[in-house]
Amino acid sequence: MTTLACTETRARQFFALAKPRVVLLIVFTAVIGMFLAVPGIPPAGAVVFGTIGIALVAGAAAAVNCLVEQNIDKLMRRTSWRPLPQGQLTSRETLAFAGIVGAAGLTVLYQFVNPLTMWLTLATFVGYAIIYTVLLKPATPQNIVIGGASGAMPPVLGWAAVTGTVPPEALLLFLIIFVWTPPHFWSLALYRRDDYAKAKLPMLPVTHGMHYTQVMILLYTVALTAVTLMPYAVGMSGPVYLVAAMALGVTFVAYAWNLVRAYSDALARATFRYSILYLSALFSALLVDHYLRYLL
């Protein structure tokens, strides 16, 4: 193998540590928060440097998660391909990568965005990499509910990057993702329950059974649909968003109801995939509605 090929392979391995697909959704919701924060177009510097900084810190948090859970990842089909379980990277290399990338992201946020965004992003890093990964995940089946607070922070970070403030509207975006996280993750946990049982992680389907988890998904999707109507109720959005939120919510509830009525792993997998589409479409609808209201 040539030197260039070796370098490219190593780069891909480090890139995989950062969980790029997860980071992409994080960055997407953060950028939506940036654009919702102002009536017009947000400052280019805040958008560019805010996006870079948030993405780097999110990637560092993902790498720490891979480092802490490498022995668990070996036992699970979903994660056994990762660089650490495969022996492609060492713990020391992973720790160095997380430290360098995380420090770079925080520096970018402090120097080129604002201190508030840097501190909030640091708190999010600690919440995910330490509180969720190290403390909550192996200890309680409510891990994803409590730890979901970290995953709900990106639009708040984006809003803070542009305005230097965290108003109630930003917290409403936080609430939407916070309530979305349990049904999203539990759908995955349903069809990966054997993996979690093998790894001895107290995920809800393992500790409380399949039916209980299915009912909880249904209840959370109903609650989520109600929460997503709040931006319209408080005047943050208009009828375009309202129609989209209702249509997306009813569809999500239908998926959840079918999980209770006639469960299959294929349906749980489809529900998980829809939950990702749901969040992307919901936030896109918020953005479209936001600019239509100011243009018309």
Residue 1 has pLDDT above 60, yes or no: no
Are 16 and 101 members of one domain? Answer: yes
Return the ∠ at Cα 227 (arms to 120 and 196), rounded to 5°.
70
Residue 4 has pLDDT above 70, yes or no: no
**Domain boundary, last residue among 165, 182, 215:** 165
Residue 231 has pLDDT above 90, yes or no: yes
Helices 168-191 & 20-36 angle (0-180, nearest 10): 160
Domain that residue 267 falls in: 167-296
In the block, which residue shows the tokens 């249509």?
247
Q: Which pLDDT band, with edges at 50, 70 and 90, does 140 fall under?
A: confident
Distance in angstroms (rounded) separating the CA atoms of residues 182 and 180 = 6
Residue 71 has pLDDT above 90, yes or no: no
Q: Which pLDDT band, with edges at 50, 70 and 90, does 138 fall under?
A: confident
pLDDT in tens, 88-106: 889 999 999 999 999 999 9
pLDDT in tens, 256-279: 999 999 999 999 999 999 999 999
Are 161 and 171 members of one domain? Answer: no
pLDDT in tens, 20-67: 999 999 999 999 999 999 998 999 999 999 999 999 999 999 999 999
97 contacts 14 by C-beta, under 8 angstroms: yes
Are 5 and 98 members of one domain? Answer: yes
**Domain boundary, last residue among 133, 165, 197:** 165
Q: What pLDDT, on the 0 to 100 scale, is given for residue 29?
A: 96
Are 143 and 177 members of one domain? Answer: no
Distance in angstroms (rounded) separating the CA atoms of residues 140 and 146 = 10
Q: What is the mean pLDDT of the chain?
A: 92
Residue 119 has pLDDT above 70, yes or no: yes
45 contacts 112 by C-beta, under 8 angstroms: yes
Are 181 and 146 members of one domain? Answer: no
Q: What pLDDT, on the 0 to 100 scale, is given for residue 296?
A: 64
Report the CATH number that the domain containing residue 53 is assigned in CATH. Answer: 1.10.357.140
CA neighbor of 70 nearest in space, from 80, 78, 61, 62: 80
CA atoms within 13 A on the CB side of 135: 9
Are 138 and 261 members of one domain? Answer: no
Are 9 and 150 members of one domain? Answer: yes
Distance in angstroms (rounded) separating the CA atoms of residues 287 and 80 = 37
Are 139 and 157 members of one domain? Answer: yes
**Domain boundary, last residue among 137, 165, 193:** 165
Q: What pLDDT, on the 0 to 100 scale, is given for residue 273?
A: 97
Q: Which pLDDT band, with edges at 50, 70 and 90, does 184 fall under?
A: very high
Q: How many domains does the chain have?
A: 2
Are 31 and 82 members of one domain? Answer: yes
Are 147 and 194 members of one domain? Answer: no
The CB density around residue 219, as the number of other CB atoms within 10 Å, is 13
Are 250 and 288 members of one domain? Answer: yes
Contact residues for 218 (Cβ-Cβ < 8 A; gap 6+): 253, 256, 257, 259, 260
Burial of 213 (0-12, 13-18, 19+ CB in 10 A): buried
The CB density around residue 5, as the number of other CB atoms within 10 Å, is 9
Are 25 and 140 members of one domain? Answer: yes
